[in-house]
Amino acid sequence: MLRRWSSARPARLRQAQVNANCLDRSGLPSDGRLRLLSFNIQVGINTQGYHHYVTRSWQHLLPHAGRAVNLQRIGELLGGYDLVALQEVDGGSLRSDFINQVERLAHLGDFPYWYQQLNRNLGRFAQHSNGVLSRLAPRELEDHPLPGPSGRGAILLRFGEGADALLVVVMHLALGGRTRTRQLAYIRETIGDCRNLVLMGDMNTHASELLESSPLRDLGLLAPQVEATFPSWRPQRCLDHILLSPSLALERVEVLPLPISDHLPVAVEIRLPDALHGAALPARQGAPG
């Protein structure tokens, strides 16, 4: 199912942003570097201990003044990245003061493009969503509800064309192992034979399961991150991942010490294969990257 890609800026400003980023004909940075971040923001709730799951549980239902402050802090973090995957965002309901958190973070981080995937619609009470923020315009965007109980989804973004295209999959997987396996089987079938892959999101399991015993095991993916991301106040489990195909060279990986949500954000910087970049747009040929 293909849904509309939303922009956080008027068309003329979108073009200005694209030019400033010095993109090539594939829509990717012409210097081949791509900065990625994945963050489960827990709808802006500042959780700093297990007891907050009880004492602050009302914030999953009702608005709270501190949520705007937390979104501001998250927005300040996002400015250094090209593509951001968000999980547990609210699309505009009572608990978020009817603010679409994906759109708000796009504005705070100065992203020209954003997309909200609504996975569980509880009307004015909750709009459970995933989100993508991007400085780059993908050639294709697909919205996929995942198998199992409603509330989980994947977003596929394709940059470039043909066998050398870059496919980025943003996801939030189920807690249960059997349902998660069904979801990963669906994602594996959807990916097909694409050779340049980035899978990112809250996957609710460790990398060893994903790489060794899940339906993704034949892809030869790499899991560069080893630090734990959950719980944010005393990380013990690595549940949030950015998985890479071997064709994508890792430049940097980091779990960021930002204990706002109950998850920590994970970031990577990668270098793309030469086949994916280098043909600069005519308006910016010779411009610095």
Grade residue 8 by pLDDT with cuts at 50, 70 and 90.
very low
Q: What is the CATH number of domain 10-274?
A: 3.60.10.10
| Total Cβ atoms within 10 A of residue 148 | 17
Tens digit of each residue's pLDDT (9 = 90 or more) over 85-133: 999 999 887 767 678 999 999 999 999 999 999 998 877 777 889 999 9
Average pLDDT over residues 165-185: 96
Residue 25: per-residue pLDDT: 57
- Mean pLDDT, rounded, for 243-254: 96
Write phi, then psi, for 37 (nearest 5 degrees).
Answer: -140, 140
The DSSP-derived string for the chain is: ---PPEESS-HHHHHHHHHHTTBBTTSSBTT-EEEEEEEE-GGG----STTHHHHTGGGGTS--THHHHHHHHHHHHHTT-SEEEEEEEESS-GGGTT--HHHHHHHHTT-SEEEEEEEEE-GGG-EEEEEEEESS--SEEEEEEPSSSSS-EEEEEEESSGGG-EEEEEEE--SSHHHHHHHHHHHHHHHTT-SEEEEEEE-SS-HHHHHHTSTTGGG--B----S--BSTTS--B--EEEEE-TTSEEEEEEE---TTSSS--EEEEEE--GGGS--B-GGGTT---
∠ CA 159-162-164, rounded to 5°: 70
* Pair 287, 269: CB distance under 8 Å: no
CA 220 – CA 210 distance, rounded (Å): 11
Report the pLDDT value the prediction gives residue 99, as an integer from 0 to 100.
Answer: 87
Lowest mean pLDDT, pick from 30-34, 44-48, 53-57, 282-286? 282-286
Per-residue model confidence as pLDDT tens digits over 144-158: 999 998 889 999 999
203 pLDDT higher than 90: yes
* pLDDT at res. 19: 37
| Residues making up the chain, counted from first to last | 289
pLDDT for 232 equals 84
Which residues face 34 on adjacent strands? 270
Domain boundaries, the chain: 10-274
How far is the C-alpha of 228 from the C-alpha of 230, rounded, in Å? 6
Provide the pairing of β-strand 33-40 with 113-121: unpaired
Between 99 and 23, whose confidence is greater? 99
